[in-house]
């Protein structure tokens, strides 16, 4: 492996030989967004909450540890099984030291809203990636409610939440479509005086609203507007976290773009605010059948049967962008395989994720031989075969797994650098991908 042009590379490396198809059956880990929320809500509810299907990835485990540090009794059972002995909000105590949230923007933004509303002081910090991510988008509206939150230079973490008394409800118009911003405000509003209302410019994932209802909270949703009345209390429940469609996306793309593939993904969450990746791939010509549809814990779940085909380039409809925002690294790889040109616009939110995902994917795919031009809010990609090479994931779990799937359309070997953070959302990815048909080796850090 030549790392001369990547002098600061650390962490695990994926080494991949060309592959041609994905086959068999895959059960992806539990949904990361829902795993975060299951811990947060179970911890502040009254009674015993039992969670199954919990994602045992680093991000969600940091959220679990955060509530342990605030005095919540939490027990671990078998794989994916968590029991929380909630005693209501009043039982929570300030953590004795800073709460470390690793790489998790979701954990930090939602926890900030929750703790600000509960008037619990805390300092929230994370790894190098998280401490560079923008937090003013939640700090500003929470400050309008009366919260006192200090940030680092430039509005980045660490976030220092000071006691501020009872918050006041607001009516807030979100300048961008973000479920994390919406959720932070609603969670603060849960313990604010009055009715808190959030207006969004586009549909975003609604796991917060659905799960709060499962814990007995009345949340009103009317189109792009969500409202919550302060002073409500959560009642313990039992819930099952479905498979994460964001983790499924890598396999959906890998199988969809390779003729001869036949892959089943079982127990995947099909929340309508999350299925944009399926809609986009189908517009590109993918053959994805939705089977065995059912409801689990208030969330729609199904099995996905993918039959490989040759994809075609499209102009991705902007109304689907917010429904697939976390899946675009994988969609970029699908576009790199597709006949013709794919144009992505309206996706500027990708620039402030764990990395600048537009830049990281454009740089990495170009290094692998793709014809891609990045734009301020997306990219133009002309599909074809890749030649192989070295792509730097820049420590982003989703870009790392996307580059791994690119080995299915590459004529030469691919090396993916800085893959440690894959464990934040998909522990065991390399092993599952290998069983399905990728020629992947996971190499330990070399420096």
Structure-token pair, residue 361: 């994917």
Picking from 314, 323, 255, the residue whose alpha carbon sits closest to that of residue 286 is 255
- Cα separation, 407 vs 385, in Å, equals 10
Residue 226 and residue 272 share a domain: no
Name the strands in the sheet holding 341-344, side by side, starting at the edge strand that comes first in the sequence: 341-344, 378-382, 371-375
Name the strands in the sheet holding 13-17, side by side, starting at the edge strand that comes first in the sequence: 389-392, 414-417, 13-17, 439-443
Residue 281 and residue 186 share a domain: no
Structure-token pair, residue 343: 């144009």
- Cα separation, 180 vs 446, in Å, equals 36
- Decide: 404 and 432 in contact? Cβ < 8 Å: no
User: What is residue 5's predicted lDDT score, i.e. its pLDDT?
Assistant: 44
Give whole-number Cα distances, 298 to 45, 48, 270, 287, in Å.
18, 18, 11, 27
Residue 404 and residue 301 share a domain: yes
Residue 159: which residues within 8 A CB-CB, separation 6 or more? 108, 112, 123, 124, 125, 135, 139, 149, 150, 151
Catalytic residue from among 119, 127, 303, 326: 326
User: What is residue 311's predicted lDDT score, i.e. its pLDDT?
Assistant: 98
Kindly give the confidence (pLDDT) of every residue in the chain, 447 residues in length, as a single tens digit, with 9 standing for 90 and above.
333 344 455 689 999 999 999 999 999 999 999 999 999 999 999 999 999 999 999 999 999 999 999 999 999 999 999 999 999 999 999 999 999 999 999 999 999 999 999 989 999 999 998 999 999 999 999 999 999 999 998 999 999 999 999 999 999 999 988 999 999 999 999 999 999 999 999 999 999 999 999 999 999 999 999 999 999 999 999 999 999 999 999 999 999 999 999 999 999 999 999 999 999 999 999 999 999 999 887 799 999 999 999 999 999 999 999 999 999 999 999 999 999 999 999 999 999 898 999 999 999 999 999 999 999 999 999 999 999 999 999 999 999 999 999 999 999 999 999 999 999 899 999 999 999 999 999 999 765
Residue 261 and residue 230 share a domain: no
| Terminal C-alpha separation, the chain | 13
394 within a domain of the structure (yes/no): yes
Q: What is the CATH number of the domain that holds 317?
A: 3.65.10.10
Residue 287 and residue 384 share a domain: yes
- Decide: 433 and 21 in contact? Cβ < 8 Å: no
Residue 172 and residue 307 share a domain: no
Residue 89 and residue 176 share a domain: yes
Peptide bond into 24 cis (omega under 30): no
User: What is residue 446's predicted lDDT score, i.e. its pLDDT?
Assistant: 66
| Three-state helix/strand/coil letters over the chain | CCCCCCCCCCCCEEEEECCCCCEEEECCCECHHHHHHHHHHHHHCEEEEEEECCCCCHHHHHHHHHHHHCCCEEEECCCCCEEEEEECHHHCCCCCCCEECCCCHHHHHHHHHHHHHHCCCEEEECCCCHHHCCCHHHHHHHHHCCCEEECCCCCCCCEEEECCCCCECCEEECCCCCHHHHHHHHHHHCCCECEEEEECCCCCCCHHHHHHHHCCCCEEEECCEEEEECCCCCECCEEECCECHHHHHHHHHHHHCCCCCEEEEEEEECCCCCCHHHHHHHHCCCEEEEEEEEEECCEEEEEEEEECCCCECCECCHHHHHHCHHHHHHHHHHHHHCECEEEECCCHHHHHCCCCHHHHHHHHHHHCCCEEEEECCEEEEECCCECCEEEECCCCHHHHHHHHHHHHHECCCEEEECCHHHHHCCCCHHHHHHHHCCEEEEECCCC
Domain that holds residue 50: 32-240
- Encode pLDDT of 85-123 as tens digits: 999 999 999 999 999 999 999 999 999 999 999 989 999
User: What is residue 2's predicted lDDT score, i.e. its pLDDT?
Assistant: 37
Considering its fold, how many domains does the chain have in total? 2
User: What is residue 402's predicted lDDT score, i.e. its pLDDT?
Assistant: 98
Last residue of a domain, one of 194, 220, 240: 240
Last residue of a domain, one of 240, 268, 300: 240
128 within a domain of the structure (yes/no): yes
Pairing assessment for the beta strands 299-307 and 287-296 based on DSSP bridges: antiparallel
155 within a domain of the structure (yes/no): yes
Asked about 326 being catalytic, the answer comes back as: yes
How distant is the alpha carbon of residue 304 from its chain centre? 20
- Cα separation, 120 vs 116, in Å, equals 6
- Decide: 169 and 175 in contact? Cβ < 8 Å: no
348 within a domain of the structure (yes/no): yes
3 within a domain of the structure (yes/no): no
8 within a domain of the structure (yes/no): no
User: What is residue 222's predicted lDDT score, i.e. its pLDDT?
Assistant: 97
What angle in degrees, to the nearest 10, is found between the helix axes of 397-405 and 328-337? 20
Picking from 177, 110, 425, the residue whose alpha carbon sits closest to that of residue 323 is 177
Residue 199 and residue 248 share a domain: no
Last residue of a domain, one of 240, 261, 294: 240
- Decide: 236 and 42 in contact? Cβ < 8 Å: yes
Which residues on adjacent β-strands are paired with residue 379? Answer: 344, 374
288 within a domain of the structure (yes/no): yes
- Encode pLDDT of 167-191 as tens digits: 999 999 999 889 999 999 999 999 9
Residue 307 and residue 207 share a domain: no
Reported as half-sphere exposure (CB side, CA atoms, 13 A), residue 383 has a value of 22
1 within a domain of the structure (yes/no): no
Residue 40 and residue 20 share a domain: no
Residue 395 and residue 350 share a domain: yes
- Cα separation, 264 vs 251, in Å, equals 9
Residue 222 and residue 361 share a domain: no
């Amino acid at each position: 492996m030549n790392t001369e042009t990547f002098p600061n590379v650390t962490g695990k490396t994926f080494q991949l030989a060309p592959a041609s198809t994905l086959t068999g059956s895959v059960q992806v880990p539990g949904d990361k967004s829902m795993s975060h929320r299951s811990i947060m809500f179970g911890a502040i509810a009254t009674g015993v909450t039992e969670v199954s299907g919990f994602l045992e990835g680093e991000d969600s485990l940091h959220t679990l540890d955060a509530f342990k540090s605030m005095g919540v009794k939490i027990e671990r059972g078998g794989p994916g099984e968590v029991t929380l002995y909630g005693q209501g909000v009043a039982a929570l105590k300030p953590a004795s030291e800073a709460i470390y949230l690793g790489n998790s923007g979701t954990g930090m933004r939602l926890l900030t809203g929750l703790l600000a509303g509960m008037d619990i002081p805390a300092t929230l910090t994370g790894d190098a990636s998280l401490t560079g991510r923008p937090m003013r988008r939640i700090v500003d509206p929470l400050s309008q409610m009366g919260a006192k939150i200090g940030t680092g230079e430039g509005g980045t973490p660490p976030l220092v939440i000071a006691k501020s008394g009872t918050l006041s409800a607001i009516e807030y118009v979100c300048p961008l479509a973000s479920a994390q911003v919406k959720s932070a405000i609603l969670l603060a509003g849960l313990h604010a005086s009055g009715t808190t209302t959030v207006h969004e410019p586009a549909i975003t994932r609604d796991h917060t609203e659905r799960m709060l209802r499962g814990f007995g909270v009345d949340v009103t949703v009317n189109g792009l507007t969500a409202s919550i009345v302060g002073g409500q209390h959560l009642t313990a429940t039992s819930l099952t976290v479905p498979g994460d469609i964001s983790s499924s996306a890598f396999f959906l793309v890998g199988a969809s773009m390779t003729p001869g593939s036949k892959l089943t993904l079982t127990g995947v969450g099909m929340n309508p605010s999350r299925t944009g990746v399926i809609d986009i791939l189908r517009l590109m010509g993918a053959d994805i059948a939705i089977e065995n549809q059912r409801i689990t814990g208030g969330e729609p779940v199904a099995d996905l049967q993918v039959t490989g085909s040759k994809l075609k380039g499209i102009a991705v409809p902007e109304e689907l962008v917010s429904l697939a925002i976390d899946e675009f690294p994988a969609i970029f790889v699908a576009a790199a395989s597709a006949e013709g040109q794919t144009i992505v616009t309206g996706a500027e939110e990708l620039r402030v994720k764990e990395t600048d995902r537009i830049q990281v994917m454009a740089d990495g795919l170009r290094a692998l031989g793709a014809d891609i031009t990045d734009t301020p809010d997306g990219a133009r990609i002309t599909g074809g075969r890749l030649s192989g090479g070295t792509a730097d994931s820049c420590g982003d779990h989703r870009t790392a797994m996307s580059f791994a799937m690119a080995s299915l359309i590459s004529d030469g070997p691919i090396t993916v650098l800085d893959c440690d953070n894959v464990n934040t959302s998909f522990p065991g990815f390399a092993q599952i991908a290998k069983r399905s048909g990728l020629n992947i080796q996971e190499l330990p850090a070399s420096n």
